[in-house]
Amino acid sequence: MNGMTALSWSGAAYAALIGYGLGSVPFGLLISLAAGLGDVRKIGSGNIGATNVLRTGKKWAAALTLLLDGGKGLVAVLLAGMFLGASAALVAGLCAVLGHIFPVWLKFKGGKGVATVIGVLLGLYWPVGLLFIATWIGMAYLLRISSLSALTAAALAPAYMMAFGDLTKAIFAFILTIILFLTHHANIYRLWHGQEPRIGQKKKDENTSSP
């Protein structure tokens, strides 16, 4: 997916529709309902991401949510790139993330976008996607804080992309980083005040990071 080319308005529109359409599918909610776990929006943080699905106690449901939320970002990038070109892949990837965060089906109240960003990065340049995952896992293992792990990986993603010599995708990764920091504003506040719970920790207000 090298060599960015000019993208027509129609091409951009198609790419945006592909990305948003796939990104807006609320897999976390659909999986929790299909598994008889209830409405995931009514527990924990009220988020539809994998971290909140994990609070149902079903690890398989959370793992499937993580896989599918990442998959929709990956598929959006690959489809747009295959049929509309490399520039369209960026549009589709961005819209997939926005679709996950603001799904029209759920009155624009979705997840925080971490898993979908991972899928987008894997589609654009898989080594950077793998580095994002490795960073998240490493930080989670060391500090046991989900949100801090995601934010650290997001902050490093543009640098990873630059290390491979792709300025355009590095700028795009920086945009995704800004989006993730915005969706995690409450987590950042708690991190600053030492109130963010660790992975597996119970607390009254469970508005923690949910991919």
Q: What is the pLDDT of residues 96-146, one digit of tens each?
A: 999 999 999 999 999 999 999 999 999 999 999 999 999 999 999 999 898
Is 198 within a domain?
A: no
Residue 98: helix, strand or coil by DSSP? helix
CA dist 190 and 102 (Å) reads: 23
CA dist 2 and 90 (Å) reads: 12
CA dist 9 and 6 (Å) reads: 10
First CA to last CA distance, the chain: 26
Is 205 within a domain?
A: no
Structural domain count, the chain: 1
Is 1 within a domain?
A: no
What's the mean pLDDT when you consider all of the chain? Answer: 91
Angle made by CA atoms 115, 176, 43, in degrees to the nearest 5: 40
Nearest to 181 by CA among 155, 149, 161, 205: 155
Is 160 within a domain?
A: yes
- What's the alpha-carbon Rg for the chain, to the nearest Å? 16
**Residue 46 structural domain:** 9-192
Is 204 within a domain?
A: no
Check pLDDT > 90 for residue 206.
no
pLDDT of 144: 87
Please tell me which residue, 7 or 69, carries the higher pLDDT value: 69
What percentage of residues in the chain have a pLDDT greater than 70? 92
Mean pLDDT of 178-183: 98
